[in-house]
Structure 1
Amino acid sequence: MDWSVKLDDTLWAYRTIYKTPIGTTPFLLVYGKSCHLPVELKHKAYWAIQTLNFDLKAAGEKRLLQLNELDEIKQDAYENAMIFKDKTKRWHDRCIARKKIKERGLVLLFNSRLKLFLGKLKSRWSEPFKVMQVFPHGAVEIWSETLGAFKVNGQRLKPYFQGEPIEKGANCVFGNPPDRQ
């Protein structure tokens, strides 16, 4: 009910937590320094006044150095984000199962819109489709008599094998083993 009261604390926590992809905190990227608690800020302000003693030239030089340092921090965060994205992409690509889909072959199409509770045991793979064309970027053009030709992502397809079903006792897994001589 009172989410607006806790919003400031939530944003403060989010902005001050270390983020792995960028290798720093969002606060450091914006302000160029690590965050401090409000109690620490009062002490730091007093220390800064004593150190600089209102010397405008020294304060200006220090501010230029801080701006240059902030640019370096932002560049490091950009590089860390690129490294993180590359690692994530390599991990994702390694987990993708490559499928051999041949033109003029038959495939089944995964129906992601089928809800689980409409029929728990109902297959989520649609009728066999004929592969018309396989594109190099992963798209596949398929055709059926009812729907015609259309393109889909190759990850939504699996090969369809036609043939006679295996008999129950053929592999000795089900039923009785074959007679021994």
Structure 2
Amino acid sequence: MDEFRLHAYESVDAAAIKPRHFHEGQLVLLYNSRLKLFPGKLKSRWWGPYVVHKVYPYGAVDIRDQKSDSIWKVNGQRLKAYVGVESGMEARELATLVDPKV
């Protein structure tokens, strides 16, 4: 029995159940599990970004929609950190085009 328990404990890493730590004010994306019913190759399964409103023990997280100010309690395993341009900031890059005939 102990060997079976040890094997199950070691296989948790293979199942991608890893602790995720979020803090208040962080931008996150929410996994849309309902998209499986209507599959689409180019549709993203991640919605957001949302703002973390409150973090509870054992993985529950309150997220706030920036547009409607509504708050939802979701499982932290359905969230991932948003890596992108924060709201209000735009990333711009200056590109100079050169005529190839010159």
TM-score class normalised by the smaller sequence: 0.5 to 0.7
Identity %: 47
Q: Which runs of 5+ in 1 are unaligned?
A: 1-79, 170-181
Q: Does 1:149 find its partner at 2:71?
A: yes
| Matched letter for residue 128 of structure 1 | P
| Matched letter for residue 115 of structure 1 | K
Q: Does 1:161 find its partner at 2:95?
A: no
Q: Which residue in the other structure is 2:47 paired with?
A: 126
Q: 1:98 to 1:166 in 2, by over 3 A?
A: farther
Q: Does 1:99 find its partner at 2:20?
A: yes
Q: Which has the larger radius of gyration?
A: 1
Higher strand share: 2
SS of 2:34's equivalent in the other structure is coil
Aligned residues: 88
Q: What is the alpha-carbon distance in structure 1 between the residues aligned to residue 17 and residue 39 of structure 2?
A: 29
Q: Which runs of 5+ in 2 are unaligned?
A: 96-102
Q: 1:152 to 1:87 in 2, by over 3 A?
A: same
Q: What is the alpha-carbon distance in structure 1 between the residues aligned to residue 45 and residue 55 of structure 2?
A: 23
Q: Which residue in the other structure is 2:59 paired with?
A: 138
SS of 1:89's equivalent in the other structure is helix
Q: 1:147 to 1:87 in 2, by over 3 A?
A: farther
Q: What is the alpha-carbon distance in structure 1 between the residues aligned to residue 31 and residue 10 of structure 2?
A: 25
1:61-140 correspondence to structure 2 within 5 Å: 80=1, 83-93=3-13, 95-115=16-36, 118-140=39-61
User: RMSD across aligned C-alpha pairs, in angstroms?
Assistant: 2.8
SS of 1:127's equivalent in the other structure is strand
Q: Report the TM-score, using the length of structure 1 for normalisation.
A: 0.40
Q: Report the TM-score, using the length of structure 2 for normalisation.
A: 0.66
